[in-house]
A = this chain, B = another copy of it.
């Protein structure tokens, strides 16, 4: 491939089937294969992120950069090189989407005005590249957490000037996302939380956060942006506590601000784990509340207590989440963004490719398995039958609110009700799931 030479020697990754031992081929991800009548690509809507691939340099809390990328200078020329490499990577992997934070793509300037102009300059490069590329923008977002000014929060900062600054930055990121046809706009509140309650007025901060979200929604409508606004829950890290702790917390926050029909969630596997939920729990809960938006695909090490952002590699684990997504009707404007980074010892460019191939194949296997479960209906049928009593007679009446405690109690006594349990059949169902894997 002509170009930057960054991925020299790496060809476009193609589907070669499960028997392939080519480490640079997909074994399961066959984008045009029909699954439940829809192309695999259209089910998964996979995205490559700028953040982990082009911003992360291999550092950790005890060590510096290890990747030594050619764009480490961090100026606009480096940003242009990054853009070239990014689109080469999109081409190599053949995935349909990408995602970015404003600061991922362009350097911070001496003022917000200059920063915003830098973002727009690179976005214009993206726009031109997208004219000849298949790749589209899954979502854009603003980085309101790396700069020192946000150390005490962005929308939830004690200083209203920081709120204002963040608002102006988000406005620009929304404009750019709109301009590039982004399917969604994401808010992740990395600093919207606290380090210690001793210096924090939680009630005030929640009010500030609600106001900010309303401003985002208002602005979306004002500019005619049709994408979905997404909040990405995370319980902690970098802050001790983040206000968007998990899906249930975000749902309560949306309800409190009357925004539950305007905003959905972007659920990350690793953040679910940090919040002590399974990923499929978060998916299922969001679906139950009607706020399932998009997914950040990765995995967390179960023995580490921080966000490890590794590539997914366990198809059985993801199959249950895919099953929940398919049951909910699939992702609409959302997709699977690989919020995953190669390990700091995986410093060669080709490691980025290996990571995404493994992730895509894992997603594809999980999708195929989940589709099999859906098609056969084995799980759903079991569940429907288990709750069937609620669809008729007194079950339906009680659920509809047509019986009060006195009436119910009278019936229990009259009929001498003494309900007998049925086996939950967990082991049987787990075995059924394994038939598809």
Contact = CB atoms under 8 A, between A and B. Distances in A.
A248 interface: yes
A393 to B, nearest CB: 8
B346 A238 contact: no
A394 B164 CA distance: 9
Most B CB contacts (10 A, CB to CB) among A61, A203, A204 go to A61
A348 B301 CA distance: 36
Ranked 10 nearest A-B pairs via Cβ: A305-B305, A252-B252, A345-B424, A160-B395, A255-B255, A168-B409, A203-B288, A161-B419, A248-B249, A168-B412
A303 B241 contact: yes
B361 A431 contact: yes
B409 A171 contact: yes
A303 B198 contact: no
B64 A147 contact: yes
A383 B200 contact: yes
A408 B164 contact: yes
Contacts of A179: none
A281 B304 CA distance: 14
A434 interface: yes
B387 A344 contact: no
A27 interface: yes
Interface stretch (A31-39, A40-48, A128-136, A313-321): A313-321
Contact of A161 (B285, B289, B324, B417): B417
Interface in A383-437: 383, 386-387, 389-390, 394-395, 398-399, 401, 404-406, 408-409, 411-413, 416-435, 437
29 contacts: A23-B428, A23-B432, A58-B148, A62-B237, A63-B150, A113-B413, A151-B344, A151-B347, A152-B421, A157-B419, A159-B422, A164-B417, A171-B405, A171-B409, A195-B426, A197-B320, A198-B426, A198-B429, A198-B433, A201-B386, A204-B387, A204-B390, A208-B390, A215-B408, A249-B252, A252-B252, A306-B306, A314-B314, A355-B427
Interface in A38-80: 58, 60-66
A381 B62 CA distance: 30
A358 interface: yes
Interface stretch (A2-10, A119-127, A269-277): A269-277
A274 B305 contact: yes
B417 A304 contact: no
A382 B199 contact: yes
A281 B198 CA distance: 11
Given A149-B418, A165-B418, 8 more contacts: A151-B347, A152-B345, A158-B389, A161-B417, A203-B287, A302-B302, A315-B316, A346-B426
Q: How many copies does the complex hold?
A: 4
A182 interface: no
Contacts of A261: none
Contact of A345 (B151, B197, B383, B404): B151
A214 interface: yes
A290 to B, nearest CB: 9
B311 A419 contact: no
A280 interface: yes
A424 B152 contact: yes
